[in-house]
Every structure is written in C-alpha cells, then in structure tokens.
Amino acid sequence: MKIIDRYLAKFFISYFVSAVAVFTSLFLLVDVLQRSLANGLTTSLITYCLLQLPFVISQLVPIACLVATMFTLTTLAKNSELIAIHACGIGLERLSVIILFLAALIGIGNFFVSDYLVPPALKKAEYIYNVEVKHNKTFQLFRADKIWYRAKNAIYNIDYFNSDNKSIQGISIYLFDDDFKLIEHISAGQALYDGSHWTLFQGNATTFLDEFPISHKFQSKIAEYITEKPEDLKEIANLKVLSFQELREFIQKNKEAGFDTTRHEVNLHAKIAYAIACILMAFLGVPFSTKSQRSGGLALSFGIGLAIAFSYWMCLNAGLSFGYKKTIPPIFSAWIANILFFILGIYFVKYQQRMKKRWQF
C-alpha cells in the first residue's frame, strides 16, 4: 500500500470509528433514559442496553461509512492536501478506490458480525429485559420456528406463529392442575385470534382422568385457557435472533409445509442488501463531499450526510413495506433502495465530471 493510501486510510478509519462512537453514544443515552423513566435504572437495564450494542452498531455502520467518506475528502480539501495529491497525478477517482475498498471490507465484517454476534446478543438482551426488567417470569425465547411458552397452569408448544394475520400453525397445549399434574392435552392444526379469544381448528383433545384418558376430535374449539394475545407471542417469536443460515432454513422448512414466508424472504434478502449499503454510502459520499469542500466544509458535509442517510432509510423501509404486503417481489423490495441510490450516485458522478470546474481542487 502506498504512503498516500495509508494516509487516506488513516483519515477514513479515524472518522469512521468516531462516527460509530458518536451515533452509538447518542442512541444509548436516549434508550437508557427512556427505559429508565419507565422501569427505573437498574443493573439489568444497563446490561440489556449493552447487549443491544452489536445490533445498534451494525445498523449504524453504513451511515458511518458515508460520514467518514465525506469528512475525509472535505478535511483533505480544506487543508489543501488534495491539491498536492492531484499535483502528483493522483485524481479523485484513484482516492475513491481506496475508500470503496475500505468500505467493502467494513461491509463484509459487518455482515459476519450481524450474523454471528448479533443474534445471541439480542436473544440474551430480550430475556434480560422481559424477565429481569419487566419481571415477566414466564417469558421464554427459543427459535422462531419452535416456540415453547409456559403460562401459570399451561405449556404451549407452537410450530409456527404468523404475527401478520394473528394465526398459529401447529399447536400443542398441556394443561396442569395446581399440583402440576397433567389434566388435559390439546393439539390442533391451526389457531386463529379474532380480537377477543383464540379458536382451535382440526384438533384432538385428551382428558386425563384417574381411571383412563378420554380423547375426542374436534373441528373447532374456543380456547379460553389461552390468555396470551398475539402481541405476547410476537415478543417470543423474534426472528432477529436467527442468523442468515438459520433464517434461510426456516424459510425453506415453512415453504415446504405450505406456510406464507414472504415477510421472512424480504428480511433474508435485506440482510445482504444492507451489507452492500456500506459501499453504496461511501460511493455516494464522494460526489457530495466535493460539492461541500468550498461551500461549507465539515458542517455542510455532516448535514448532507444526514440527509442522504435519512432518505436512504425512508426508501429502504418503503421498499420493505411493499415487500411485506406482496406488492413487489421480496428480492426487489430489499434491493430497491440500493438500486435507486446507486443510480443517484452515478448521476452525480457524471454531473461532476461534466462540470470540470467542480473537480478542480
């Protein structure tokens, strides 16, 4: 690596680390303050917030790449160092290659951090928040495709929970008396929530008497003993605790079973698309940083960076929403923001090339 490459990399990495630190600190400050007002500031709450850090940082990395790119080029320009570099025959395109290379490495690293470090950290964080902070002693968190939930006198085993239409596919219910003796077992192929109670369909109920068990089949049955609402189950069936491979296997398994996996397919493609966003944000930062070099320096670069990041988030969330609603295919919904902003970046690069005076440092 040339001296100039190392010099540029030092600037970029220092600004990147600073951006991640600042954004993460702001998030932690707001999150701890809000949750402490509702639940009180405890060691468990602080532990919960710290376990959220891997997920928070992974979400902030693309924005940090954008800010680092703009701050790096703007700082070099204000110190007249870009003029000296340009005099050596090294243009902005050559410098951009180094920045994009660093952003690519960060994006790859962020993908693996999100895949291997974030899921177990989130799983532990959710458990601490629900059990130690909110004091929900019955809370259990397992893989989203196999949920066990223990209530006061019952244990539920759920094969698949769909939070969109408030339905359950495959459920077994074990009812106990106060001495924890099994008194009834109910299994059903499907359960639907109508706003007030759950109804079981196509099932079998076995009552355990002192003499011998009695079983009977049913077409539909109101399950008054299920007091949990879909919102309660949604907290348990948290797909964020699944890695990329686990989510892909989850989708394949449920597709074979005939379940709707559209939402999960969107989330799967979004994992890859968001990793590429690091390179995309750095690419967008180059033409916009040249625009702010003379007119406003770091302050303008920061403002433009936030505007780009906010616009990207809006576009990304809009695309995901369309995918969830099946308006557009899952893969396109996850990539539409990247495609649009890549086209935007190409446009501004071409625009800067046409306006040669803008490229003079």
pLDDT score at 102: 95
Query: Do the Cβ atoms of 49 and 267 come closer than 8 Å?
Result: no
Domain residue ranges in the chain: 3-124+261-359, 145-237
| Residue with tokens 């109910």, as numbered in its chain | 186
Residue 138 near residue 149, CB atoms below 8 Å: yes
At residue 44, the pLDDT reads: 83
Whether pLDDT at 239 is above 70: no
At 142, is the pLDDT very low, low, confident or very high (cuts 50, 70, 90)? Answer: very low
pLDDT digits (tens, 9 = 90+) for 71-123: 888 888 776 666 677 667 677 778 888 999 999 999 999 999 888 888 888 87
Sign (positive/negative) of CA torsion 21, 24, 30, 31? negative
Residue 200 is predicted with a pLDDT of 93
Instruction: Residue 288: name the closest of 20, 66, 65 by CA.
Output: 66
pLDDT of residue 274: 92
Beta bridge mates, 201: 190, 220
Q: Kindly tell me if the per-residue pLDDT of 217 is higher than 70.
A: yes
Whether the CB-CB separation of 185 and 214 falls below 8 Å is answered with: no
Kindly tell me if the per-residue pLDDT of 237 is higher than 60. no
pLDDT in tens, 251-297: 887 777 666 788 889 999 999 999 999 999 999 888 877 665 555 56
Per-residue pLDDT at 357 exceeds 60 = no
What is the mean predicted confidence (pLDDT) over 28-39?
79
**Residue 349 structure tokens:** 């690069």
Q: Quick one: pLDDT at residue 361?
A: 45
pLDDT tens column, 315-351 = 999 999 999 999 999 999 999 999 999 999 898 888 7
Neighbours of 282 (CB within 10 A): 28
- % the chain with pLDDT above 70: 83
- Residue 355's pLDDT is 59
Flag whether pLDDT at 358 surpasses 50: no
3-state helix, strand, coil in the chain (%, to 5): 65, 15, 20
